[in-house]
A and B are shown apart, each in its own frame.
Chain A
Amino acid sequence: LAKTTQPISMDSYEGQEVNITCSHNNIATNDYITWYQQFPSQGPRFIIQGYKTKVTNEVASLFIPADRKSSTLSLPRVSLSDTAVYYCLVTQWEYGNKLVFGAGTILRVKS
């Protein structure tokens, strides 16, 4: 199973753009990148998923370079309510799309 590496924590201020980078060196051709967000006392919530280049939805953007060895989650103009843990996962079709969570990145947004 592919493993991911992401920063343990990040700090930001309200209104700023936050970029969280994740490395995943042994990603396979059929694998794709998935990001989840988790607030205290809640289950993880799906944010975005992508295979290559750029994906954007109403919440975030996901940038994946051509070599697919890393990816960057971009959160535009964060607010205090974006304070949470963000998980980067490689979803592997070969393994039945099993989710293998790491420790995630704790994002703290300050006023």
Chain B
Amino acid sequence: EAGVAQSPRYKIIEKRQSVAFWCNPISGHATLYWYQQILGQGPKLLIQFQNNGVVDDSQLPKDRFSAERLKGVDSTLKIQPAKLEDSAVYLCASSLNPGTSGGEGDTQYFGPGTRLTVL
């Protein structure tokens, strides 16, 4: 079974530029997550999709970050314009069917991440 795919793996941009990250979840997984992980910290959830609908985007800086999952499969996260403090690893994860109490359905599987450096 293929895992969560992300691209690019690395990106270096100047501040105020735009950048986009792509994620393809595990086939059949209804839920997709984007996390931001700053060096030395644990991942922080930015946005959660259930199929093509947003479940939680409470921690997404909406003035500069946007995300979409139009067909309920792959997803794109965009930053426009980027700031120095956006330098981090952006992780995508997917799960089969969360919302149940325990069990295999809510286990999140993470991709390798995209390391963003903003200069």
* A101 CB to nearest chain B CB (Å): 3
| Inter-subunit contact B106/A43 (CB<8 Å) | no
Task: Tell me which of B41, B99, B100, B112 contacts A43 (CB under 8 A).
Answer: B112
Task: Tell me which of A45, A96, A102 contacts B99 (CB under 8 A).
Answer: A96
Chain A interface main SS type: loop
* A99 CB to nearest chain B CB (Å): 6
Q: Does B4 count as interface, using CB distance less than 8 angstroms?
A: yes
| Inter-subunit contact A43/B42 (CB<8 Å) | no
Q: Does B17 count as interface, using CB distance less than 8 angstroms?
A: no
Task: Tell me which of A49, A93, A99, A103 contacts B40 (CB under 8 A).
Answer: A103
A45-B110, A97-B106 given as contacts; is B42 within 8 A of A103 (CB)? Answer: yes
CA distance A99 to B31 in the complex (A): 13
| Inter-subunit contact A101/B110 (CB<8 Å) | no
Which of the listed residues B42, B100, B109 has the most CB atoms from chain A within 10 Å of its own CB? Answer: B42
- Minimum CB distance partner of A44 in chain B: B110
CB contacts (< 8 Å) of A111 on chain B: these are none
CB contacts (< 8 Å) of B40 on chain A: these are 103
- Minimum CB distance partner of B95 in chain A: A97
| Inter-subunit contact A102/B42 (CB<8 Å) | yes
Task: Tell me which of A30, A43, A91, A96 contacts B91 (CB under 8 A).
Answer: A43
Q: B residues within 8 Å of A by Cβ?
A: 4, 33, 40-45, 48, 55-56, 91, 93, 95, 98-102, 106-113, 115
Could you list some 6 contacts between A and B, CB below 8 A? A41-B115, A43-B112, A93-B101, A97-B95, A101-B44, A102-B42
